[in-house]
Chains A and B, each alone.
Chain A
């Protein structure tokens, strides 16, 4: 087993029966406010014409991306990626600005209406750290949700994808390296499996394109100006009675 872990999810939509026990387990674990959830089970409804009718339920959570745009968007580092791959939120450092919510191409983040902080699936890291499974995975009676260390060839996730065709929720425009592998196509139109390109908010554009350059020029110019004046001062010398300096 490798020393450095690489956690992620394997999801088999064929095994999901939409019981939503995972949503209940997640809410019980994290006391998510009513009307908000950290995980979903999406469906586009029945597909096809009778008698060839199918319906797919697609379990979804934060994909704990290898290149998480939410981490790049967070100005303070409140959102960060752990060495083991889990993308977490330091709630005490979060000021609830919502830049990460906007940045996530999967829209798996939201602003918790009770705490006022950014919120999302954290893969129940406290359980994982003591060797347990995330609540949703431990609860899933159909075995649709799996979690584990991809660096460990004996882990449930490594065994599940071994010699299998896997599907990742990416598009030609958006590939953030989601650490969720689906064992059958995640056929749902929901954004959580159909990522959308990022659009910067006006405040972010103002910050990057105006505020930072203006401050750099202002501070740089005044510093250089004063440094020049100081050199002139040294060259000119001082006159006690002329200037009233002393």
Chain B
């Protein structure tokens, strides 16, 4: 995304600015998710026999069984890791529920008018077309990330629910056997659709040059001001306003000289300097 109103000096100044976008808990949860997907996806594909349901390959089926020693062992570890994944995510949601989850869901996940416009323009930009049409400003997460979050939440819910049904299937009465029978294709469908989203997520987050800051922020938690201003302007301006208000409060409380009034948050980029307090 480009912004013709920014001078080169402003761009350089913004690049030196550092904003915290992710807490340590977010970063750890994200990479925990990555690790679990790396364990669960290959084993899940390995369980499903190609000759029965052609969504895998016999070579992969055999390789997974050789690594784990047997079909039973492969299924066992897939189930164990799946339950760890569910337990950690559930713990995160419930422990962080009051402090983060409701706020996050109500302020960061809902699509507004700018988001809808962004969704109509962004695909053209990715193809290198209609670059003259500016993208509307975005919050801490852009509309694509918000849509992806819906997919992940809904997909994860069904993956987890159907997975638990299969892990504890022996406790389901035979008259309810249809629940197990439907759990299998729904588990497969949910994982497959979510994985399709993961492919986009990985490209946009790790490879697409305009979003590369987002990739590094998943290690450091931080992004530079230029990225934040260009890609998440609503969030950037809000952080600057919060920072200015915090500074004003600090000066008022400790009666620092020559600071009679709090400075107003500026909408001009790069005017509030480095190291804003924690982000989302």
Q: B196-222 toward A: CB 8 Å interface, digit per residue (1/0)?
A: 110110110001111111000000000
Contact assessment for A78 and B181 in the assembled complex, using a CB-CB cutoff below 8 Å: no
Q: B157-195 toward A: CB 8 Å interface, digit per residue (1/0)?
A: 000000000100111101001101110111011001101
Contact assessment for B170 and A243 in the assembled complex, using a CB-CB cutoff below 8 Å: no
Chain B: CB-nearest residue to A218: B196
Q: A76-89 toward B: CB 8 Å interface, digit per residue (1/0)?
A: 11100000000000
Contact assessment for A229 and B170 in the assembled complex, using a CB-CB cutoff below 8 Å: no
Number of contact residues on B: which range applies?
35 or more
Identify the stretch in B44-52, B87-95, B105-113, B272-280 within 8 Å (CB) of chain A at 4 or more residues: B44-52
Known contacts A98-B181, A216-B55; A111/B174 CB under 8 A: yes
Known contacts A116-B170, A207-B188, A219-B192; A212/B55 CB under 8 A: yes
User: What residues of A have a CB within 8 angstroms of the CB of B229 in the complex?
Assistant: 244
A156 within 8 Å of B (CB atoms): no
A110–B170 CA distance with the chains assembled, in angstroms: 13
A143 within 8 Å of B (CB atoms): no
A222 within 8 Å of B (CB atoms): yes
CB distance from B151 to the nearest CB of A (A): 11
User: What residues of A have a CB within 8 angstroms of the CB of B211 in the complex?
Assistant: 245
Pick the contact of B192: A72, A208, A215 (CB < 8 A).
A215
CB distance from A101 to the nearest CB of B (A): 8
CB distance from A211 to the nearest CB of B (A): 4
Please provide the chain B residues from 96 to 154 with a CB less than 8 Å away from any CB of chain A in the complex: 126-128
Contact assessment for B192 and A245 in the assembled complex, using a CB-CB cutoff below 8 Å: no
User: What residues of A have a CB within 8 angstroms of the CB of B230 in the complex?
Assistant: 243-244
A206–B182 CA distance with the chains assembled, in angstroms: 9
Contact assessment for B53 and A222 in the assembled complex, using a CB-CB cutoff below 8 Å: no
Contact assessment for B166 and A222 in the assembled complex, using a CB-CB cutoff below 8 Å: no
For the A-B complex, the count of residue pairs with Cβ-Cβ distances under 8 Å equals 164
A222–B70 CA distance with the chains assembled, in angstroms: 33
A74 within 8 Å of B (CB atoms): yes
A161–B192 CA distance with the chains assembled, in angstroms: 52
B262 within 8 Å of A (CB atoms): no
Contact assessment for B75 and A97 in the assembled complex, using a CB-CB cutoff below 8 Å: no
Pick the contact of A245: B171, B185, B188, B227 (CB < 8 A).
B227
Contact assessment for B192 and A211 in the assembled complex, using a CB-CB cutoff below 8 Å: yes
Contact assessment for A93 and B72 in the assembled complex, using a CB-CB cutoff below 8 Å: yes
A92–B2 CA distance with the chains assembled, in angstroms: 58
A246 within 8 Å of B (CB atoms): yes
Identify the stretch in B8-16, B24-32, B243-251 within 8 Å (CB) of chain A at 4 or more residues: B8-16
A241 within 8 Å of B (CB atoms): yes
Which 9 pairs, one residue from A and one from B, show the smallest C-beta to C-beta distance?
Answer: A215-B192, A116-B170, A92-B72, A207-B185, A244-B226, A244-B227, A218-B196, A203-B181, A226-B203
| Interface set of A (CB-CB < 8 Å, partner B) | 72-78, 90, 92-93, 95-99, 111, 113, 115-117, 201, 203-204, 206-208, 210-212, 214-216, 218-219, 221-223, 225-226, 229-230, 232-233, 236, 238, 241-246
A77-B71, A229-B126 given; 12 more Cβ-contact pairs under 8 Å: A75-B48, A76-B48, A76-B71, A77-B49, A95-B169, A97-B184, A111-B174, A215-B55, A218-B193, A222-B197, A230-B203, A245-B213
